[in-house]
């Protein structure tokens, strides 16, 4: 069994660890570091629940090895809200539009949308954001609340309640 030393920054904090070569990033974040907001569902890249942001890009942490993240900056859902507790606009929109029920799928959806909308020049359309949702499975909501939240985030129906 091969072991590797890695150093990553997670939610602004530096972490050093020794991990097995086969350890997924998702397991590393949950088991080694304790970020249990990283939800593991299918564990083969289908459901999207495990999505985190690695160097600004949304990735499925069940499909990436921890050793591949060496040197990277990682954000999990725990690191998205402001230090004073103010929710990220994507989180706020999902809350306002009842875009979640059990919440299992929610961290992954939040991270995908945050990766697409963060940054001064990032102004994706609602259509683009909805297309990104094709990589996420939600067993509870019927997607309508999520779609309303997406439109709110995209600024297409700000404040409108369907």
Best CA proximity match to 49, nearest among 77, 28, 84, 74: 77
Smallest gap, in angstroms, from Cβ of residue 144 to ligand FES? 12
Closest distance to ligand FES from the beta carbon of 135 (Å): 8
Specify whether the CB–CB gap between 113 and 52 falls below 8 A.
no
User: According to the binding rule CB under 6 A, does residue 93 interact with ligand FES?
Assistant: no
Contact flag: residue 102 with ligand FES (CB under 6 A): yes
- Asked if residues 130 and 149 have their Cβ atoms less than 8 Å apart, the reply is no
Task: Enter the tokens of residue 143.
Answer: 């997607």
Residue 131 in the binding site for ligand FES (CB under 6 A)? no
The reply to whether 103 sits near ligand FES by the rule CB under 6 A is yes
Q: Report yes or no: 93 and 154 within 8 Å, Cβ to Cβ.
A: no
Residue 67 binds ligand FES, judged by CB under 6 A: no
Is there binding between residue 145 and ligand FES (CB under 6 A)? no
- Quote the least distance from Cβ 98 to ligand FES, whole Å: 10
Burial 57-68, CB ≥16 within 10 A → b, else e:
ebbbbbebbbbe
Q: Nearest approach, Cβ of 9 to ligand FES (angstroms)?
A: 22
Report how far apart, in Å, the C-alpha atoms of 155 and of each of 112, 127, 151 are.
Answer: 17, 12, 6
Site membership for ligand FES, residue 37 (CB under 6 A): no
Q: Is 54 in the site for ligand FES (CB under 6 A)?
A: no
Q: What does the binding site for ligand FES look like in residue numbers (CB under 6 A)?
A: 40-43, 45-50, 60, 62, 100-106, 138-141
């Amino acid at each position: 069994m091969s072991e590797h030393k890695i150093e990553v920054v997670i939610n602004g904090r530096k972490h050093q660890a020794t991990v097995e070569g086969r350890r997924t990033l998702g397991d590393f974040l949950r088991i080694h570091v304790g970020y249990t907001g990283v939800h593991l569902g299918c564990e083969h890249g289908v459901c999207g629940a495990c999505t985190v942001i690695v160097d600004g890009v949304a990735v499925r942490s069940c499909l990436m090895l921890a050793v591949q993240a060496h040197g990277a900056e990682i954000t999990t859902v725990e690191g998205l809200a402001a230090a004073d507790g103010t929710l990220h606009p994507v989180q706020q929109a999902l809350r306002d539009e009842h875009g979640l029920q059990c919440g299992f799928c929610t961290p992954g959806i939040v991270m995908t949308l945050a990766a697409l909308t963060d940054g001064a020049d990032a102004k994706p359309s609602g259509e683009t954001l909805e297309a990104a949702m094709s990589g996420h499975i939600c067993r509870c909501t019927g997607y309508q609340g999520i779609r309303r939240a997406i439109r709110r985030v995209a600024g297409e129906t700000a404040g409108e309640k369907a």
